[in-house]
Amino acid sequence: MSGNEASAEGFSAQLRTLAEPIWQRELEHPFVRGLGDGTLAVESFAYYLQQDYVFLIEYCRVFALASAKAADLGTMQSFAKLLGGTLEVEMALHRDYCSRFGLTPEMLERTIPSAITLGYTNHLLAVAYGGSLADIVAAILPCQWGYAEIGSVLARQANRGAETRYREWIKMYSSPEFIAGAQALRGLLDRMTRGWPPSATEPLKRHFLTSSRFEYLFWDMAYTRESWPL
């Protein structure tokens, strides 16, 4: 996914403008604010970690499908690298981080996906199985780009003196490497959609907005520690 960077005039910038009200509400959500100032209840963060663990497993399947649908070897390798990095590195780091909040590997493996987690992963998998690579990138971009944006905003707050017990989480998602990965996905989508008529991009807009809504709902689900009613 290396190559031209995302453009301020590219299709990804249009998507970000469309999703602005949703993304702003994410930044204002008490879960995200609590990450930034350290006031988020540990119980809510632990619940988030458990749900994020089962989310990441399904997310890996999406990367695998993206690699399979890539039109060139370089893009295939990029998604294979994302898949390997998530399975072998991020999941291991996630388990280590979870242990600091009292979550054992056995507890993570027993996690039952919430209704929101299941709905979000089913959405991503449906797009990945039934759509093109452009569809997949539009669907996963709110997660990759959104986390980079939230991490960067919270990091700037921390640099102004806000102390938080969640600073390692913030550092992870505001790292140059993570931001570069999100920008690479933006650039890929911009290149793939260059010259497309508006009618051809409508499905991508729907995918992006649906994933953006699920991102908000994921924070809200973790904040309230929402469980199945039955």
Active site residues: 143, 215
Q: Could you give the residue ranges of the DSSP H alpha helices within 6-132? A: 11-18, 20-28, 30-37, 42-69, 73-84, 91-99, 105-109, 115-130
DSSP helix/strand/coil, 20: helix
Q: In angstroms, rounded to a whole number, what is the distance separating the alpha carbons of residues 93 and 88?
A: 9
Residue 172 contacts residue 151 (beta carbons within 8 Å): yes
Q: In angstroms, rounded to a whole number, what is the distance separating the alpha carbons of residues 18 and 168?
A: 31
Angle between helices 11-18 and 176-193 (to 10 degrees): 110
Q: In angstroms, rounded to a whole number, what is the distance separating the alpha carbons of residues 58 and 81?
A: 16
Q: In angstroms, rounded to a whole number, what is the distance separating the alpha carbons of residues 16 and 185?
A: 13
